Amino acid sequence: MEIYFLGTNAGVPTLQRNVTSIALRLMEERRSFWMFDCGEGTQHQVLRSPLRLGKLEKIFITHLHGDHLFGLPGLISSRGYQGGTAPLTVYGPPGLKDYLEISLSVSQSRIPYKLEIVEHTGGVVFEDASFRVEAGLLEHRIDSYGYRVTEKDSPGSLNTERLLGYGLKPGPLYGKLKKGEAVTTPDGLVIQPADVVNEPKRGRIVTVLGDTRPCEEALRLSQDADLMIHEATFAHDLAEMAHQYHHSTARQAAETARDAGARSLLLTHFSSRYISFDELAPLQEEAQAVFPETLLAEEFSTFPVFRRAPGK
């Protein structure tokens, strides 16, 4: 599980940074990736990345401002030309369905795969045996949502050293123990799964927040997250401007991460006033003063999502 940034700028693209789009790579877990927001030019960014649109499974839109969704029609159209035949589901606030259906209809775009558009107003928007995705309404000029992606715990691995100590070699009995069934060795010893199965692997939590002022819902969605992604449109010397435009400062993002008990924080959605990556350094410094485990998002950079050790 990895985060990969395709765009980190706020409002409009610059020569240095494109507008918002974030990929959650789940190649080991699902052999696919998910996308959060799809600003104008995202498909061009994908071409410069290791991502392949044929592997894109889901897109989650935080809100309907252009810098977060103007890239959708083009990307959806191009996906079919780049080997995309599997179904694609797009989630987002009410109005998303009209936007996409009109755009694709007027442009006579042909979609050679099943496209599903799911509008929501928060709550659980997706769940299967492996993942659960919950959305919550944040505080912005229009309805803007954050997403909490929870990977479900997976069964622990077999302790092969202990099994060999019981004289049990790899074979069908291993499979029964993995399924939670007790087995009996040729010597008549009954082995319970709890005796030889390691602790379950704890699922990871990734929180991706849309544009927002500091608010209680951002805190709730980020509770105990292993990785939290929060906008940092301005440095804190512009806190008044951030509030006026319904955005957050880097320090405010760090305060949310600290108060939520998150493990790590990635800052993104930077104002165009900060032209170079070096000019963003003060944002990282002010955030790290509050929450040390803070990094700046950077175009075409990968950030692994680490699993917590058992009991932590």
Torsion angle defined by CA atoms of residues 88, 19, 260 and 129, in that order, rounded to the nearest 10 degrees: 10
- Domain extents for the chain? 2-154+200-304, 160-196
Mean pLDDT for 2-6 is 98
Task: Work out the mean pLDDT of the chain and round it to a whole number.
Answer: 94
Residue 242 tokens, joined? 């951030």
> pLDDT by residue (tens digit) across 77-133?
999 888 889 999 999 999 999 999 999 999 999 999 999 999 999 999 999 999 999
Mean pLDDT for 184-211 is 88
Residue 192 pLDDT greater than 90, yes or no:
no
* pLDDT above 70: percentage of residues in the chain: 99
The rounded distance, in Å, linking the Cα atoms of 2 and 227 is 10
Mean pLDDT for 219-238 is 98
Mean pLDDT for 11-38 is 97
Q: Which are the catalytic amino acids? A: 67
Sign, Cα dihedral of 137, 244, 16, 41: positive
Range with the largest mean pLDDT of 28-32, 151-155, 191-195: 28-32
pLDDT of residue 125: 98
Q: How many CB atoms lie within 10 A of CB 79?
A: 23
pLDDT of residue 171: 83
pLDDT of residue 39: 98
Residue 259 pLDDT greater than 90, yes or no:
yes
Residue 42 tokens, joined? 């995202």
State the Cα angle at 191 between 186 and 194, rounded to 5°: 160
The rounded distance, in Å, linking the Cα atoms of 58 and 117 is 10
User: Could you please report the per-residue DSSP string of 207-257?
Assistant: EE--S--S-HHHHHHTTT-SEEEEE--B-GGGHHHHHHTT--BHHHHHHHH
Q: What are phi and psi of 21, to 5 degrees?
A: -165, 135
Provide the angle, in degrees to the nearest 10, between the axes of the packed helices 250-260 and 281-288.
30
User: Residues within the annotated binding site for Zn(2+)?
Assistant: 63, 65, 67-68, 140, 211, 269
The answer to whether 134 touches 111, Cβ cutoff 8 Å, is no
* DSSP for residue 44: H
The enclosing H or E element of 283 equals helix 281-288
CATH 3.90.1150.10, domain 2-154+200-304, yes or no: no
pLDDT of residue 189: 86
Q: What are phi and psi of 40, to 5 degrees?
A: -55, 135
* pLDDT above 90: percentage of residues in the chain: 80
pLDDT of residue 310: 62
pLDDT of residue 179: 80
Residue 312 pLDDT greater than 80, yes or no:
no
